[in-house]
């Protein structure tokens, strides 16, 4: 069984200066992970804590400059010492679609940069979001498709595969996720159990489990039995198992009580109970 933790699960520790990428590697080893799944903000040297928390909306607060390649070499060496390969690098702020072509171009350059980093780290995947309006009209989809085709080809040359994720915009609707997966050759799905239109969440699991190449098992709280009481995650596991999912079971815990290490540990325990 492959297990990883999306390091956004520790974004408060990161913002407080209590965990950097090197401590993240050590914590993943201690928690029993088989791979490393860093969020892009974790891979940049620590900067201002408030900016780190909001890095998803302000990616420049947590980016790696071209001169920081030596830092990436240090990160790679630390991972090698821990015996953990890099799995998924989750990139914020490089989504494909924006109304402004200049912004799209800036996002594309950022995507290239993170794909280069993923290649240097021998990561299996990079997650780049689609972006765009929720309804994803045909003209928007055409831009998204062209953009993904471009970065998929760029990533392939570097030994990296590209994932989309149900995250925001059009991807919260399962119909759009199916269209992305069906019509864009080489695009995989990072299946998050949570980030769906709430009225379609169960339908989304049923429609999209078969496309999953990796997962984010989203947890917020736990009952006395160590289960997530707000949603029937056991059913999500059942659907993924029935679909023959054999990728990495990823943790993305966002605990309401702020106890990030404990939440990650409890989510891993749930995965080991329910995953095939």
pLDDT in tens, 45-63: 644 444 444 444 444 444 5
Question: Is residue 104 predicted with pLDDT exceeding 80?
Answer: yes
Q: Which two tokens stand for residue 12?
A: 């408060």
Question: Is residue 163 predicted with pLDDT exceeding 70?
Answer: yes
pLDDT at 248: 97
Name the one residue in this structure whose structure tokens are 């492959």: 2
CATH superfamily of 3-274: Divalent-metal-dependent TIM barrel enzymes (3.20.20.150)
Percent of the chain with pLDDT over 90: 86
Band of residue 17 on the pLDDT scale cut at 50, 70, 90: confident
CA distance 55 to 159: 27
pLDDT at 137: 98
- Do 233 and 261 contact (CB within 8 A), yes or no? no
Q: Which two tokens stand for residue 215?
A: 């997962």
pLDDT at 158: 98
Please indicate whether residue 117 or residue 53 has the higher confidence score (pLDDT): 117
pLDDT at 71: 87
Q: Which of 37, 167, 59 is nearest to 113 (CA)?
A: 59
pLDDT at 62: 45
pLDDT at 276: 83
pLDDT at 41: 86
DSSP for 176-229, written as a single string: HHHHHHHHSTTEEEEEESS-S-GGGHHHHHHHHGGGEEEEEEEE----TTS--T
Mean pLDDT of 253-257: 96
Percent of the chain with pLDDT over 70: 92
pLDDT at 165: 98
Mean pLDDT of 250-264: 97
pLDDT at 45: 62
Q: Which of 7, 3, 31, 29 is nearest to 19 (CA)?
A: 7
Q: Within a 13 Å sphere around the CA of 204, how many CA atoms are in the beta-carbon half?
A: 22
Q: Is the dihedral of CA 11, 12, 13, 15 positive or negative?
A: positive
CA distance 42 to 102: 27
Mean pLDDT of 185-211: 97
Per-domain boundaries in the chain: 3-274
CA distance 268 to 265: 5
CA distance 189 to 72: 26
DSSP classification of residue 276? -
CA distance 99 to 250: 32
């Amino acid at each position: 069984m492959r297990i990883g933790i999306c390091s956004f699960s520790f974004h408060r520790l990161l913002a407080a200066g209590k965990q950097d990428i090197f401590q993240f590697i050590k914590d993943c080893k201690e928690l029993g992970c088989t791979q490393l799944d860093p969020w892009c903000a974790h891979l940049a040297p620590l900067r201002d804590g408030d900016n780190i928390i909001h890095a998803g909306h302000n990616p420049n607060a947590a980016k790696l400059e071209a001169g920081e390649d030596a830092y990436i070499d240090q990160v790679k060496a630390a991972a090698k010492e821990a015996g953990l390969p890099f799995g998924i690098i989750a990139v914020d702020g490089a989504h494909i679609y924006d109304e402004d072509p200049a912004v799209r171009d800036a996002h594309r350059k950022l995507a290239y940069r993170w794909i280069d980093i993923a290649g240097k780290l021998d990561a299996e995947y990079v997650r780049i979001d689609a972006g765009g309006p929720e309804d994803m009209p045909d003209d928007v989809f055409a831009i998204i498709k062209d953009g993904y085709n471009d970065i998929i080809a760029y990533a392939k040359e570097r030994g990296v595969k590209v994932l989309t994720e149900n995250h925001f915009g059009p991807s919260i609707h399962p119909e759009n996720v199916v269209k992305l997966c069906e019509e864009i050759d080489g695009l995989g799905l990072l299946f998050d159990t949570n980030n769906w239109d709430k009225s379609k969440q169960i339908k989304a699991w049923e429609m999209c489990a078969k496309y999953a190449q990796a997962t984010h098992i989203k947890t917020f709280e736990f009952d006395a039995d160590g289960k997530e009481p707000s949603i029937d995650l056991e059913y999500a596991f059942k659907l993924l198992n029935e679909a023959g999912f054999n990728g990495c079971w990823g943790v993305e815990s966002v605990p309401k009580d702020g106890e990030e290490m404990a939440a990650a540990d409890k989510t891993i325990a749930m995965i080991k109970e329910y995953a095939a």
